[in-house]
Structure 1
Amino acid sequence: MTSVPESDLKHLRERYSRLLEFCDLLEGIADGLPNDFPRAHCQMLASSVADLLRATHVIEGRVLMPLLLASDHTGLRMAAERLQQEHEFDDQAAMEVEEALHDLLLGRSRMSPDATGYLLRSFFESVRRHVNAEQDLLYLLEDITPTNRSLH
Protein backbone atom coordinates (compact mmCIF):
# COMPACT_ATOMS: atom_id res chain seq x y z
CA MET A 1 0.00 0.00 0.00
CA THR A 2 1.15 3.52 -0.77
CA SER A 3 2.49 5.53 2.15
CA VAL A 4 1.36 9.12 2.62
CA PRO A 5 3.16 11.71 4.75
CA GLU A 6 1.36 12.54 7.99
CA SER A 7 1.46 16.24 7.06
CA ASP A 8 -0.60 15.54 3.91
CA LEU A 9 -3.17 13.59 5.91
CA LYS A 10 -3.35 16.37 8.49
CA HIS A 11 -3.86 18.94 5.73
CA LEU A 12 -6.66 16.85 4.22
CA ARG A 13 -8.37 16.48 7.60
CA GLU A 14 -8.11 20.25 8.12
CA ARG A 15 -9.76 20.82 4.74
CA TYR A 16 -12.55 18.45 5.70
CA SER A 17 -13.10 20.39 8.93
CA ARG A 18 -13.21 23.65 6.99
CA LEU A 19 -15.70 22.23 4.50
CA LEU A 20 -17.95 21.09 7.35
CA GLU A 21 -17.71 24.59 8.86
CA PHE A 22 -18.78 26.04 5.51
CA CYS A 23 -21.72 23.63 5.48
CA ASP A 24 -22.79 24.92 8.90
CA LEU A 25 -22.60 28.51 7.63
CA LEU A 26 -24.64 27.62 4.54
CA GLU A 27 -27.22 26.01 6.79
CA GLY A 28 -27.44 29.24 8.79
CA ILE A 29 -28.06 31.17 5.58
CA ALA A 30 -30.73 28.72 4.43
CA ASP A 31 -32.42 28.88 7.83
CA GLY A 32 -32.49 32.69 7.71
CA LEU A 33 -34.08 33.06 4.29
CA PRO A 34 -35.68 35.16 3.01
CA ASN A 35 -34.74 38.20 5.10
CA ASP A 36 -32.83 37.17 8.20
CA PHE A 37 -29.70 35.51 6.83
CA PRO A 38 -26.15 36.37 7.96
CA ARG A 39 -24.95 38.65 5.16
CA ALA A 40 -21.29 38.49 6.23
CA HIS A 41 -21.28 34.70 5.96
CA CYS A 42 -23.13 34.91 2.68
CA GLN A 43 -20.56 37.30 1.25
CA MET A 44 -17.59 35.22 2.40
CA LEU A 45 -19.09 31.99 1.08
CA ALA A 46 -20.13 33.56 -2.21
CA SER A 47 -16.48 34.04 -3.04
CA SER A 48 -14.90 30.96 -1.51
CA VAL A 49 -17.05 27.82 -1.56
CA ALA A 50 -16.00 26.63 -5.01
CA ASP A 51 -12.32 27.39 -4.39
CA LEU A 52 -12.26 25.52 -1.08
CA LEU A 53 -14.00 22.53 -2.61
CA ARG A 54 -11.66 22.44 -5.62
CA ALA A 55 -8.59 22.77 -3.40
CA THR A 56 -9.86 19.91 -1.23
CA HIS A 57 -10.36 17.78 -4.31
CA VAL A 58 -6.76 18.46 -5.38
CA ILE A 59 -5.48 17.32 -1.99
CA GLU A 60 -7.72 14.24 -2.14
CA GLY A 61 -6.27 13.47 -5.54
CA ARG A 62 -2.79 13.61 -4.07
CA VAL A 63 -3.51 11.89 -0.74
CA LEU A 64 -6.66 9.76 -0.64
CA MET A 65 -7.04 8.56 -4.22
CA PRO A 66 -3.58 6.92 -4.46
CA LEU A 67 -4.30 5.03 -1.24
CA LEU A 68 -7.62 3.79 -2.56
CA LEU A 69 -6.28 2.91 -6.00
CA ALA A 70 -3.30 1.02 -4.55
CA SER A 71 -5.53 -1.13 -2.37
CA ASP A 72 -5.87 -4.85 -2.91
CA HIS A 73 -9.59 -4.40 -2.18
CA THR A 74 -11.71 -4.01 -5.32
CA GLY A 75 -14.33 -2.05 -3.40
CA LEU A 76 -11.82 0.61 -2.42
CA ARG A 77 -10.61 1.01 -6.01
CA MET A 78 -14.24 1.33 -7.11
CA ALA A 79 -14.83 3.92 -4.37
CA ALA A 80 -11.98 6.01 -5.81
CA GLU A 81 -13.64 6.04 -9.23
CA ARG A 82 -17.03 6.97 -7.77
CA LEU A 83 -15.54 9.76 -5.66
CA GLN A 84 -13.78 11.19 -8.69
CA GLN A 85 -17.10 11.35 -10.55
CA GLU A 86 -18.74 12.99 -7.53
CA HIS A 87 -16.05 15.66 -7.51
CA GLU A 88 -17.18 16.89 -10.92
CA PHE A 89 -20.79 17.12 -9.73
CA ASP A 90 -19.78 18.86 -6.50
CA ASP A 91 -17.64 21.42 -8.34
CA GLN A 92 -20.55 22.34 -10.62
CA ALA A 93 -22.95 22.54 -7.69
CA ALA A 94 -20.52 24.81 -5.79
CA MET A 95 -20.49 27.27 -8.69
CA GLU A 96 -24.32 27.32 -8.68
CA VAL A 97 -24.30 27.96 -4.92
CA GLU A 98 -21.85 30.84 -5.31
CA GLU A 99 -24.01 32.37 -8.04
CA ALA A 100 -27.14 32.03 -5.89
CA LEU A 101 -25.36 33.65 -2.93
CA HIS A 102 -24.14 36.55 -5.09
CA ASP A 103 -27.67 37.07 -6.40
CA LEU A 104 -29.06 36.91 -2.87
CA LEU A 105 -26.62 39.58 -1.69
CA LEU A 106 -27.53 41.82 -4.59
CA GLY A 107 -31.25 41.34 -4.00
CA ARG A 108 -31.80 40.01 -7.49
CA SER A 109 -32.29 36.32 -6.88
CA ARG A 110 -33.94 34.57 -9.81
CA MET A 111 -35.09 31.85 -7.45
CA SER A 112 -37.68 32.00 -4.71
CA PRO A 113 -36.36 31.91 -1.14
CA ASP A 114 -37.61 28.32 -0.88
CA ALA A 115 -35.74 27.32 -4.03
CA THR A 116 -32.57 29.06 -2.84
CA GLY A 117 -32.86 27.30 0.51
CA TYR A 118 -33.36 23.98 -1.24
CA LEU A 119 -30.28 24.56 -3.41
CA LEU A 120 -28.16 25.41 -0.38
CA ARG A 121 -29.47 22.45 1.63
CA SER A 122 -28.94 20.03 -1.24
CA PHE A 123 -25.38 21.23 -1.58
CA PHE A 124 -24.34 21.25 2.05
CA GLU A 125 -25.99 17.90 2.78
CA SER A 126 -24.21 16.38 -0.22
CA VAL A 127 -20.86 17.84 0.87
CA ARG A 128 -21.38 16.59 4.44
CA ARG A 129 -22.10 13.07 3.17
CA HIS A 130 -19.11 13.23 0.86
CA VAL A 131 -16.74 14.40 3.60
CA ASN A 132 -18.05 11.82 6.07
CA ALA A 133 -17.63 9.03 3.50
CA GLU A 134 -14.06 10.08 2.75
CA GLN A 135 -13.22 10.32 6.44
CA ASP A 136 -14.63 6.81 6.85
CA LEU A 137 -12.42 5.62 4.01
CA LEU A 138 -9.35 7.04 5.75
CA TYR A 139 -10.26 5.15 8.92
CA LEU A 140 -10.91 1.97 6.93
CA LEU A 141 -7.56 2.29 5.20
CA GLU A 142 -5.89 2.59 8.58
CA ASP A 143 -7.63 -0.56 9.79
CA ILE A 144 -6.62 -2.65 6.78
CA THR A 145 -3.09 -1.28 6.47
CA PRO A 146 -1.17 -2.60 9.47
CA THR A 147 2.17 -1.25 8.22
CA ASN A 148 0.90 2.31 7.86
CA ARG A 149 -0.61 3.29 11.21
CA SER A 150 0.15 6.94 10.50
CA LEU A 151 -3.08 7.36 8.54
CA HIS A 152 -4.97 8.35 11.68
Structure 2
Amino acid sequence: MPAGSAAVMKRVHLEKLQLCDALERIADTLPKVDILACLAVANAIVPLLRDGHRYEETVIFPAYETALAGGDANLDSARRLSAEHIEDECFAGEVTEMLLAIGHGKTIDNAEAVGFMLRGFFESLRRHIAFEREHVLPMIGFVD
Protein backbone atom coordinates (compact mmCIF):
# COMPACT_ATOMS: atom_id res chain seq x y z
CA MET A 1 0.00 0.00 0.00
CA PRO A 2 1.53 3.34 -1.01
CA ALA A 3 2.37 5.77 1.78
CA GLY A 4 -0.35 8.35 2.22
CA SER A 5 -3.12 6.11 0.90
CA ALA A 6 -5.27 6.71 3.97
CA ALA A 7 -4.98 10.48 3.50
CA VAL A 8 -5.88 10.18 -0.18
CA MET A 9 -8.97 8.10 0.62
CA LYS A 10 -10.02 10.53 3.33
CA ARG A 11 -9.74 13.39 0.81
CA VAL A 12 -11.64 11.42 -1.88
CA HIS A 13 -14.48 10.70 0.54
CA LEU A 14 -14.56 14.30 1.75
CA GLU A 15 -14.76 15.64 -1.81
CA LYS A 16 -17.53 13.19 -2.72
CA LEU A 17 -19.50 14.11 0.42
CA GLN A 18 -19.09 17.82 -0.37
CA LEU A 19 -20.46 17.08 -3.85
CA CYS A 20 -23.42 15.26 -2.26
CA ASP A 21 -24.06 18.25 0.00
CA ALA A 22 -24.00 20.62 -2.99
CA LEU A 23 -26.42 18.40 -4.90
CA GLU A 24 -28.70 18.24 -1.87
CA ARG A 25 -28.72 22.04 -1.59
CA ILE A 26 -29.75 22.25 -5.25
CA ALA A 27 -32.48 19.63 -4.74
CA ASP A 28 -33.76 21.44 -1.65
CA THR A 29 -34.18 24.75 -3.51
CA LEU A 30 -36.00 23.40 -6.56
CA PRO A 31 -37.55 24.79 -8.67
CA LYS A 32 -35.60 27.96 -7.88
CA VAL A 33 -31.91 27.17 -8.14
CA ASP A 34 -28.60 28.97 -8.14
CA ILE A 35 -27.57 28.57 -11.77
CA LEU A 36 -23.90 29.17 -10.97
CA ALA A 37 -24.04 26.37 -8.39
CA CYS A 38 -25.61 24.09 -11.01
CA LEU A 39 -22.80 24.88 -13.47
CA ALA A 40 -20.06 24.46 -10.86
CA VAL A 41 -21.39 21.12 -9.67
CA ALA A 42 -21.99 19.94 -13.23
CA ASN A 43 -18.38 20.62 -14.13
CA ALA A 44 -17.05 18.86 -11.03
CA ILE A 45 -19.06 15.62 -10.95
CA VAL A 46 -17.49 13.47 -13.66
CA PRO A 47 -13.82 14.36 -13.06
CA LEU A 48 -14.21 13.93 -9.31
CA LEU A 49 -15.82 10.51 -9.62
CA ARG A 50 -13.51 9.34 -12.37
CA ASP A 51 -10.35 10.25 -10.44
CA GLY A 52 -11.64 8.86 -7.14
CA HIS A 53 -12.80 5.63 -8.74
CA ARG A 54 -9.49 5.16 -10.53
CA TYR A 55 -7.64 5.47 -7.21
CA GLU A 56 -9.99 3.08 -5.44
CA GLU A 57 -9.76 0.50 -8.22
CA THR A 58 -5.97 0.62 -8.54
CA VAL A 59 -4.99 0.97 -4.87
CA ILE A 60 -7.81 0.36 -2.41
CA PHE A 61 -9.76 -2.50 -3.98
CA PRO A 62 -6.67 -4.65 -4.70
CA ALA A 63 -5.63 -4.25 -1.04
CA TYR A 64 -9.18 -5.13 0.05
CA GLU A 65 -9.23 -8.22 -2.18
CA THR A 66 -5.88 -9.30 -0.74
CA ALA A 67 -7.23 -8.88 2.79
CA LEU A 68 -10.36 -10.88 1.91
CA ALA A 69 -8.36 -13.66 0.26
CA GLY A 70 -6.73 -14.42 3.60
CA GLY A 71 -10.07 -15.27 5.23
CA ASP A 72 -13.33 -16.99 4.50
CA ALA A 73 -14.94 -13.96 2.84
CA ASN A 74 -15.68 -13.92 -0.86
CA LEU A 75 -14.89 -11.16 -3.31
CA ASP A 76 -18.50 -10.27 -4.16
CA SER A 77 -18.30 -6.96 -2.27
CA ALA A 78 -15.25 -5.81 -4.22
CA ARG A 79 -16.90 -6.75 -7.51
CA ARG A 80 -20.12 -4.98 -6.51
CA LEU A 81 -18.23 -1.81 -5.57
CA SER A 82 -16.50 -1.79 -8.95
CA ALA A 83 -19.84 -2.28 -10.71
CA GLU A 84 -21.28 0.60 -8.68
CA HIS A 85 -18.49 2.81 -9.98
CA ILE A 86 -19.64 2.18 -13.55
CA GLU A 87 -23.26 2.87 -12.62
CA ASP A 88 -22.29 6.01 -10.71
CA GLU A 89 -20.31 7.38 -13.64
CA CYS A 90 -23.19 6.76 -16.06
CA PHE A 91 -25.65 8.40 -13.66
CA ALA A 92 -23.17 11.26 -13.15
CA GLY A 93 -23.24 11.92 -16.89
CA GLU A 94 -27.03 12.24 -16.83
CA VAL A 95 -26.96 14.51 -13.77
CA THR A 96 -24.26 16.63 -15.40
CA GLU A 97 -26.33 17.09 -18.58
CA MET A 98 -29.38 18.10 -16.57
CA LEU A 99 -27.45 20.56 -14.37
CA LEU A 100 -25.73 22.11 -17.38
CA ALA A 101 -29.08 22.58 -19.09
CA ILE A 102 -30.53 24.24 -15.98
CA GLY A 103 -27.40 26.35 -15.58
CA HIS A 104 -27.77 27.55 -19.16
CA GLY A 105 -31.37 28.64 -18.62
CA LYS A 106 -33.50 25.59 -19.37
CA THR A 107 -36.79 25.78 -17.54
CA ILE A 108 -37.35 23.11 -14.89
CA ASP A 109 -40.60 21.55 -16.06
CA ASN A 110 -40.83 18.92 -13.33
CA ALA A 111 -39.00 19.93 -10.16
CA GLU A 112 -40.10 16.74 -8.41
CA ALA A 113 -38.46 14.54 -11.06
CA VAL A 114 -35.26 16.61 -11.00
CA GLY A 115 -35.15 16.40 -7.20
CA PHE A 116 -35.76 12.66 -7.32
CA MET A 117 -32.90 12.25 -9.79
CA LEU A 118 -30.48 14.32 -7.72
CA ARG A 119 -31.44 12.56 -4.47
CA GLY A 120 -31.10 9.14 -6.06
CA PHE A 121 -27.62 10.02 -7.21
CA PHE A 122 -26.24 11.57 -4.03
CA GLU A 123 -27.88 9.03 -1.72
CA SER A 124 -26.25 6.23 -3.71
CA LEU A 125 -22.86 7.93 -3.38
CA ARG A 126 -23.32 8.34 0.37
CA ARG A 127 -24.24 4.65 0.78
CA HIS A 128 -21.16 3.63 -1.21
CA ILE A 129 -18.91 5.80 0.96
CA ALA A 130 -20.50 4.46 4.14
CA PHE A 131 -19.85 0.88 3.05
CA GLU A 132 -16.24 1.67 2.22
CA ARG A 133 -15.73 3.37 5.58
CA GLU A 134 -17.41 0.60 7.57
CA HIS A 135 -16.11 -2.47 5.75
CA VAL A 136 -13.39 -1.85 3.18
CA LEU A 137 -11.08 0.62 4.88
CA PRO A 138 -10.94 -1.18 8.26
CA MET A 139 -10.05 -4.44 6.44
CA ILE A 140 -6.97 -2.80 4.94
CA GLY A 141 -5.93 -1.06 8.12
CA PHE A 142 -7.40 2.40 7.59
CA VAL A 143 -9.18 3.59 10.69
CA ASP A 144 -10.45 7.12 11.25
Tell whether the structures are fold-level matches, with TM greater than 0.5.
yes
More off after superposition, 102-111 vs 37-46: 102-111
Deviation sequence 1:20-53 (CA, Å, 0-9, x none): 0110000000011111x23332111111101101
Percent of pairs with identical residues:
31
Instruction: Determine which of 119, 122, 128 is the counterpart of 1:121.
Output: 119
Retained in 1: the 8 A contact 2:36–2:103? Answer: no
Q: Distance in 1 between matches of 2:109 and 2:125?
A: 22
Q: Distance in 1 between matches of 2:26 and 2:77?
A: 32
Secondary structure of residue in 2 paired with 1:19: helix
- One-letter amino acid of the counterpart of residue 10, structure 1: A
Q: Give yes or no for the alignment of 1:52 onto 2:48.
A: yes
Distance (whole Å) between structure 2 residues aligned to residue 33 and residue 130 of structure 1? 25
- Offset at 1:5? 2.6
Runs (5+) with no aligned partner, structure 2: none
The correspondence for 2:89, drawn from 88, 91, 100, is: 91
| Contact map agreement 2:31 2:108 (CA 8 A) in 1 | no
Retained in 1: the 8 A contact 2:92–2:121?
A: yes
Instruction: Provide the aligned length of Structure 1 versus Structure 2.
Output: 141
Q: 1:18 aligns with which of 12, 15, 29?
A: 15
Q: Relative contact order (C-alpha < 8 Å, sep 6+): which is higher?
A: 2
The amino acid of 2:103's aligned partner reads: L
SS at structure 2 position matched to 1:122: helix
